[in-house]
Amino acid sequence: MKCFYNPSQDAIGICKSCGKGLSSEFAVDLGRGLACKGPCEEDVKSLISLLENSTGIRKTSDNLLRSSTKSCYAGAALFFGMGIGFCVLAWKGPGMSVLFYSGGALIVVALYQLFHGIHVTQMLKKGGSQ
Ligand SMILES: [Zn+2]
């Protein structure tokens, strides 16, 4: 590939903003990419900044998801325990069907929390938030 600005020179890379081939004379290395000297430098700096910010946001969202899975499992254990407790109380006492149904509902909520936690854990293992 030849340099867009001086076709007699070989290109050493491509501008990250406009995609033109650049020789060392017309290229600026901004660390994470090349830019045309002058016209594209600010664009490439913005692109690099966006890339770094999105990487940071991804790490933050993954950490939030990880901590939410802990809440899911803790909630599932709590609701399951309460549901079983309600059902045992309803079984021992006569006329306690409301307590029994409440216990059943708590167990359903516990199962939902458990499966949600498992789903989020699997999503994180596959490669983070999607
Ligand atoms: Zn350019």
- Please write the tens of the pLDDT for every residue from 4-58: 999 999 999 999 999 999 999 999 999 999 999 998 999 999 999 999 899 889 8
> How remote is the CA of residue 38 from the centroid of ligand 1, in Å?
8
> How remote is the CA of residue 41 from the centroid of ligand 1, in Å?
7
Q: Which residue has the higher pLDDT, 95 or 69?
A: 69
27-29 and 34-36 as β-strands: parallel, antiparallel, unpaired?
antiparallel
The pTM assigned to this predicted structure is 0.57
> What pLDDT is recorded for position 128?
54
What average pLDDT does range 77-86 have in this prediction? 95
Which residue type is seen at 61? S
d(CA 76, CA 80): 6
